[in-house]
Amino acid sequence: MNLIQNKLTQSIDLGLIDYQKAWDYQTDLFNKTLSIKAENRNRSNNDQLTTNNYLLFCEHPHVYTLGKSGDEKNLIFPLSELASIGANFYNINRGGDITYHGPGQIVVYPIIDLENFFTDIHQYMRTLEEAVIQTLKEFQIEAGRIKGLTGVWLDVDNPVKARKICAMGVKTSRWVTMHGLALNVNTDLNYFNHIVPCGISDKAVTSMEKELNSTQDLNQVKAILKSKLASLLKCN
Protein backbone atom coordinates (compact mmCIF):
# COMPACT_ATOMS: atom_id res chain seq x y z
CA MET A 1 0.00 0.00 0.00
CA ASN A 2 1.25 3.47 -0.81
CA LEU A 3 2.54 5.32 2.24
CA ILE A 4 0.99 8.49 0.82
CA GLN A 5 -2.51 8.01 -0.55
CA ASN A 6 -3.86 10.55 -3.01
CA LYS A 7 -7.60 10.29 -3.59
CA LEU A 8 -7.70 13.48 -5.65
CA THR A 9 -9.10 12.45 -9.04
CA GLN A 10 -9.16 14.65 -12.12
CA SER A 11 -12.13 14.25 -14.47
CA ILE A 12 -11.37 14.93 -18.14
CA ASP A 13 -13.98 14.97 -20.92
CA LEU A 14 -12.30 14.12 -24.23
CA GLY A 15 -15.54 14.47 -26.21
CA LEU A 16 -15.85 12.51 -29.45
CA ILE A 17 -12.34 11.20 -30.03
CA ASP A 18 -10.68 8.68 -32.32
CA TYR A 19 -10.11 5.40 -30.50
CA GLN A 20 -6.36 5.31 -31.16
CA LYS A 21 -5.92 8.87 -29.88
CA ALA A 22 -7.80 8.03 -26.68
CA TRP A 23 -5.83 4.81 -26.26
CA ASP A 24 -2.55 6.70 -26.67
CA TYR A 25 -3.70 9.30 -24.13
CA GLN A 26 -4.65 6.58 -21.64
CA THR A 27 -1.35 4.80 -22.17
CA ASP A 28 0.64 7.95 -21.56
CA LEU A 29 -1.09 8.62 -18.22
CA PHE A 30 -0.84 4.93 -17.29
CA ASN A 31 2.90 4.77 -18.02
CA LYS A 32 3.60 8.02 -16.16
CA THR A 33 1.91 6.58 -13.07
CA LEU A 34 3.91 3.37 -13.36
CA SER A 35 7.10 5.42 -13.66
CA ILE A 36 6.32 7.27 -10.43
CA LYS A 37 5.72 3.97 -8.66
CA ALA A 38 8.97 2.58 -9.99
CA GLU A 39 10.85 5.64 -8.76
CA ASN A 40 9.25 5.33 -5.33
CA ARG A 41 10.89 1.94 -4.89
CA ASN A 42 14.22 3.77 -4.70
CA ARG A 43 12.98 6.46 -2.31
CA SER A 44 12.74 6.44 1.45
CA ASN A 45 9.37 6.15 3.18
CA ASN A 46 9.49 9.86 3.97
CA ASP A 47 10.27 10.85 0.40
CA GLN A 48 7.56 9.09 -1.59
CA LEU A 49 5.97 10.77 -4.63
CA THR A 50 2.20 10.77 -4.94
CA THR A 51 0.50 9.16 -7.93
CA ASN A 52 -2.33 10.83 -9.81
CA ASN A 53 -5.81 9.56 -10.67
CA TYR A 54 -7.94 10.35 -13.70
CA LEU A 55 -11.44 9.63 -14.96
CA LEU A 56 -11.52 10.05 -18.73
CA PHE A 57 -14.95 10.41 -20.34
CA CYS A 58 -15.43 10.19 -24.10
CA GLU A 59 -17.33 8.90 -27.11
CA HIS A 60 -15.74 7.16 -30.07
CA PRO A 61 -16.52 7.02 -33.77
CA HIS A 62 -17.68 3.51 -34.79
CA VAL A 63 -15.05 1.00 -33.70
CA TYR A 64 -14.73 -2.63 -32.67
CA THR A 65 -12.09 -3.62 -30.11
CA LEU A 66 -10.92 -7.13 -29.30
CA GLY A 67 -9.43 -7.89 -25.88
CA LYS A 68 -6.29 -9.97 -25.44
CA SER A 69 -8.30 -13.07 -24.49
CA GLY A 70 -10.86 -12.58 -27.27
CA ASP A 71 -11.54 -14.55 -30.45
CA GLU A 72 -11.48 -12.66 -33.75
CA LYS A 73 -14.17 -15.07 -34.98
CA ASN A 74 -16.58 -13.08 -32.81
CA LEU A 75 -16.33 -10.33 -35.43
CA ILE A 76 -18.87 -11.79 -37.84
CA PHE A 77 -18.61 -8.94 -40.35
CA PRO A 78 -15.72 -9.19 -42.85
CA LEU A 79 -12.75 -7.28 -41.48
CA SER A 80 -11.92 -6.07 -44.98
CA GLU A 81 -15.37 -4.47 -45.33
CA LEU A 82 -15.55 -2.52 -42.06
CA ALA A 83 -14.83 0.71 -43.92
CA SER A 84 -18.14 0.27 -45.74
CA ILE A 85 -19.98 0.77 -42.44
CA GLY A 86 -17.62 3.49 -41.25
CA ALA A 87 -15.98 1.35 -38.57
CA ASN A 88 -12.43 0.58 -37.47
CA PHE A 89 -11.01 -2.44 -35.63
CA TYR A 90 -8.30 -2.74 -32.97
CA ASN A 91 -6.68 -5.59 -31.07
CA ILE A 92 -6.11 -4.10 -27.64
CA ASN A 93 -4.51 -4.94 -24.29
CA ARG A 94 -7.53 -5.09 -22.00
CA GLY A 95 -9.27 -8.19 -20.71
CA GLY A 96 -12.44 -9.51 -22.27
CA ASP A 97 -13.55 -10.30 -25.80
CA ILE A 98 -14.95 -8.11 -28.57
CA THR A 99 -17.10 -5.05 -28.09
CA TYR A 100 -18.36 -2.03 -30.00
CA HIS A 101 -17.93 1.68 -29.29
CA GLY A 102 -19.74 4.45 -31.10
CA PRO A 103 -21.48 7.81 -30.86
CA GLY A 104 -24.15 8.00 -28.17
CA GLN A 105 -22.22 5.65 -25.88
CA ILE A 106 -20.50 6.95 -22.75
CA VAL A 107 -17.04 5.45 -22.38
CA VAL A 108 -15.16 5.90 -19.10
CA TYR A 109 -11.46 5.16 -18.72
CA PRO A 110 -10.32 5.34 -15.08
CA ILE A 111 -6.54 5.72 -14.94
CA ILE A 112 -6.16 5.34 -11.22
CA ASP A 113 -3.70 3.89 -8.76
CA LEU A 114 -5.73 1.47 -6.68
CA GLU A 115 -3.16 1.75 -3.91
CA ASN A 116 -4.71 5.17 -3.32
CA PHE A 117 -8.08 3.52 -2.73
CA PHE A 118 -8.16 -0.26 -2.20
CA THR A 119 -6.04 -3.09 -3.56
CA ASP A 120 -8.72 -5.47 -4.79
CA ILE A 121 -9.40 -5.94 -8.51
CA HIS A 122 -12.67 -7.75 -7.86
CA GLN A 123 -13.88 -4.87 -5.69
CA TYR A 124 -12.79 -2.42 -8.39
CA MET A 125 -14.81 -4.18 -11.10
CA ARG A 126 -17.87 -4.42 -8.85
CA THR A 127 -17.48 -0.71 -8.01
CA LEU A 128 -17.58 0.24 -11.70
CA GLU A 129 -20.66 -1.91 -12.14
CA GLU A 130 -22.33 -0.41 -9.08
CA ALA A 131 -21.78 3.13 -10.35
CA VAL A 132 -23.62 2.22 -13.56
CA ILE A 133 -26.38 0.39 -11.68
CA GLN A 134 -26.96 3.43 -9.47
CA THR A 135 -26.88 5.76 -12.48
CA LEU A 136 -29.51 3.73 -14.30
CA LYS A 137 -31.70 3.69 -11.19
CA GLU A 138 -31.87 7.50 -11.44
CA PHE A 139 -33.69 6.92 -14.73
CA GLN A 140 -35.97 4.21 -13.31
CA ILE A 141 -34.05 1.44 -15.05
CA GLU A 142 -33.53 -1.54 -12.76
CA ALA A 143 -30.19 -3.15 -13.53
CA GLY A 144 -27.90 -5.67 -11.91
CA ARG A 145 -25.26 -8.35 -12.37
CA ILE A 146 -25.27 -11.88 -13.75
CA LYS A 147 -23.06 -14.35 -11.90
CA GLY A 148 -19.97 -15.21 -13.88
CA LEU A 149 -20.38 -12.33 -16.34
CA THR A 150 -18.94 -8.83 -16.13
CA GLY A 151 -20.84 -5.68 -16.97
CA VAL A 152 -24.32 -4.45 -16.16
CA TRP A 153 -27.47 -6.23 -17.25
CA LEU A 154 -31.24 -5.86 -17.29
CA ASP A 155 -33.70 -8.64 -16.39
CA VAL A 156 -30.89 -10.47 -14.66
CA ASP A 157 -33.20 -13.18 -13.29
CA ASN A 158 -34.62 -14.07 -16.69
CA PRO A 159 -32.09 -15.90 -18.91
CA VAL A 160 -34.28 -15.39 -21.97
CA LYS A 161 -34.80 -11.64 -21.56
CA ALA A 162 -31.44 -10.72 -19.97
CA ARG A 163 -29.63 -8.04 -21.98
CA LYS A 164 -26.43 -6.08 -21.50
CA ILE A 165 -26.48 -2.31 -21.24
CA CYS A 166 -22.89 -1.73 -20.12
CA ALA A 167 -19.72 -3.60 -21.10
CA MET A 168 -16.49 -3.59 -19.11
CA GLY A 169 -12.90 -4.53 -19.75
CA VAL A 170 -9.79 -3.36 -17.90
CA LYS A 171 -6.04 -3.70 -17.75
CA THR A 172 -4.07 -3.38 -14.52
CA SER A 173 -0.38 -3.34 -13.71
CA ARG A 174 1.06 -2.76 -10.23
CA TRP A 175 -2.45 -1.68 -9.17
CA VAL A 176 -2.71 0.98 -11.89
CA THR A 177 -5.80 0.69 -14.10
CA MET A 178 -6.69 1.57 -17.67
CA HIS A 179 -9.55 0.90 -20.11
CA GLY A 180 -12.91 0.68 -18.32
CA LEU A 181 -16.61 0.72 -19.15
CA ALA A 182 -18.97 1.57 -22.01
CA LEU A 183 -22.58 2.49 -21.19
CA ASN A 184 -25.07 2.38 -24.06
CA VAL A 185 -27.13 5.56 -23.87
CA ASN A 186 -28.23 6.59 -27.38
CA THR A 187 -26.10 3.97 -29.09
CA ASP A 188 -26.92 2.64 -32.58
CA LEU A 189 -27.48 -0.97 -31.56
CA ASN A 190 -27.40 -2.17 -35.17
CA TYR A 191 -23.61 -2.18 -34.96
CA PHE A 192 -23.77 -4.97 -32.39
CA ASN A 193 -25.29 -7.19 -35.08
CA HIS A 194 -21.83 -7.49 -36.64
CA ILE A 195 -20.24 -9.13 -33.58
CA VAL A 196 -20.86 -11.67 -30.85
CA PRO A 197 -20.78 -9.05 -28.07
CA CYS A 198 -18.21 -9.96 -25.43
CA GLY A 199 -18.23 -13.46 -26.92
CA ILE A 200 -21.69 -14.12 -25.44
CA SER A 201 -24.00 -15.46 -28.14
CA ASP A 202 -27.21 -16.01 -26.17
CA LYS A 203 -27.72 -12.53 -24.68
CA ALA A 204 -29.01 -9.34 -26.31
CA VAL A 205 -27.67 -5.81 -26.04
CA THR A 206 -29.74 -2.76 -25.18
CA SER A 207 -29.46 0.98 -24.48
CA MET A 208 -31.10 3.58 -22.27
CA GLU A 209 -32.74 5.07 -25.35
CA LYS A 210 -34.31 1.74 -26.25
CA GLU A 211 -35.44 0.95 -22.72
CA LEU A 212 -36.96 4.41 -22.13
CA ASN A 213 -38.22 4.82 -25.71
CA SER A 214 -36.67 8.28 -25.97
CA THR A 215 -33.32 9.90 -26.70
CA GLN A 216 -31.46 10.74 -23.50
CA ASP A 217 -29.43 13.80 -22.54
CA LEU A 218 -25.91 12.41 -22.76
CA ASN A 219 -24.44 15.16 -20.59
CA GLN A 220 -26.98 14.52 -17.85
CA VAL A 221 -26.21 10.81 -17.80
CA LYS A 222 -22.49 11.56 -17.81
CA ALA A 223 -22.79 13.95 -14.87
CA ILE A 224 -24.70 11.40 -12.80
CA LEU A 225 -22.27 8.61 -13.66
CA LYS A 226 -19.32 10.82 -12.73
CA SER A 227 -20.94 11.60 -9.38
CA LYS A 228 -21.62 7.91 -8.66
CA LEU A 229 -18.06 6.90 -9.52
CA ALA A 230 -16.62 9.64 -7.31
CA SER A 231 -18.86 8.66 -4.42
CA LEU A 232 -18.20 4.93 -4.60
CA LEU A 233 -14.46 5.31 -5.08
CA LYS A 234 -14.42 8.00 -2.38
CA CYS A 235 -12.52 10.34 -4.66
CA ASN A 236 -11.71 13.91 -3.69
pLDDT in tens, 10-22: 999 999 999 999 9
Band of the pLDDT at 2, cuts 50, 70, 90? low
**Does 198 qualify as catalytic in the annotation?**
yes
User: pLDDT digit string (tens) for 41-76?
Assistant: 999 988 999 999 999 999 999 999 999 888 989 999
User: At 183, is the pLDDT very low, low, confident or very high (cuts 50, 70, 90)?
Assistant: very high
CA pair distance 127, 61, nearest whole angstrom: 27
Question: What's the whole-model pTM score?
Answer: 0.95
Contacts 24+ apart (CB under 8 A), 36-43: 37/113, 37/174, 37/176, 40/2
CATH class of 9-231: alpha beta
Q: What is the rounded average pLDDT of the residues 196-205?
A: 79
Percent of the chain whose predicted confidence (pLDDT) is above 70: 98
**72/109: higher pLDDT:** 109
Out of 58, 166, 198, 235, which one is annotated catalytic? 198
Going from N- to C-terminal start, the domains of the chain cover 9-231
pLDDT (mean) for 149-154 = 95
